[in-house]
Chain A
Amino acid sequence: DAKTTQPTSMDCAEGRAANLPCNHSTISGNEYVYWYRQIHSQGPQYIIHGLKNNETNEMASLIITEDRKSSTLILPHATLRDTAVYYCIAEGNDNDYKLSFGAGTTVTVRA
């Protein structure tokens, strides 16, 4: 499984876009990039995943660089409820079933 590197923490202003970076320079061709978040005292929540194309859903957008060595999760209009630890995970999608959560980025949205 590819190792991911994320900043320890970041702040963002309510109503502004939050851009969360993730490096996965050793990612292999069949490994996807997944993002989860964990709000305090809750279980993790799936956000989005992608292989090489950019992806968008109702929660966020995922931008993956052409060389796939890094990606950015974008929360378009951050709210106070988006304060959480955000995990970037790079895993294969064929025989892998367990998610390897690292330390993640603690995102604090401030009013």
Chain B
Amino acid sequence: GAGVSQSPSNKVTEKGKDVELRCDPISGHTALYWYRQSLGQGLEFLIYFQGNSAPDKSGLPSDRFSAERTGGSVSTLTIQRTQQEDSAVYLCASSFSWTLSYEQYFGPGTRLTVT
């Protein structure tokens, strides 16, 4: 079946502009996770959703970052007033439920470059 998809695959934006990154989880997966990976670095947890609610937003780096999920499916990560340090690969993952969070299925990521 279809895996986790993300769009766009690549995004180049100018410093100060807003960007929206989209994630389509695997159908039926109620838990959704956002991570980011800077060049040569490990993965940094950002936020997770159980259904449409986000119990833990503590990983978001600043108030310029926000995320929402509607209909228990698609999620959007929004970065306002982008900065060069926001450049990274943003990865989305989903799992059947948060109780099965050990088995997360990752999308291919969105590579964001802020110039």
Contacts and interface: CB of A to CB of B under 8 A. Distances in A.
B31 interface: yes
A32 B48 CA distance: 20
Nearest to A32: B102
Contact of B91 (A43, A91, A93, A103): A43
Contact of B43 (A45, A96, A101): A101
Given A43-B108, A103-B42, A98 B91 contact: no
B103 interface: yes
Contact of A43 (B4, B31, B101): B4
Contacts of B102: 32, 34, 46, 49, 91, 93, 99
B106 A44 contact: yes
Interface residues of A, number: 21
Size range of the interface on B? 20 to 34
Contacts of B59: 98
19 contacts: A34-B102, A43-B91, A43-B93, A44-B91, A44-B104, A46-B102, A46-B103, A46-B105, A49-B102, A91-B102, A97-B33, A97-B50, A98-B33, A98-B48, A98-B56, A99-B45, A99-B101, A100-B45, A101-B43
Interface of B: 4, 31, 33, 35, 42-43, 45, 48, 50, 56, 59, 91, 93, 98-99, 101-109
Given A93-B101, A100-B45, A101-B42, 16 more contacts: A32-B102, A42-B108, A43-B91, A43-B109, A44-B43, A44-B91, A45-B106, A46-B105, A49-B103, A97-B31, A97-B56, A97-B98, A98-B33, A98-B45, A98-B56, A103-B42
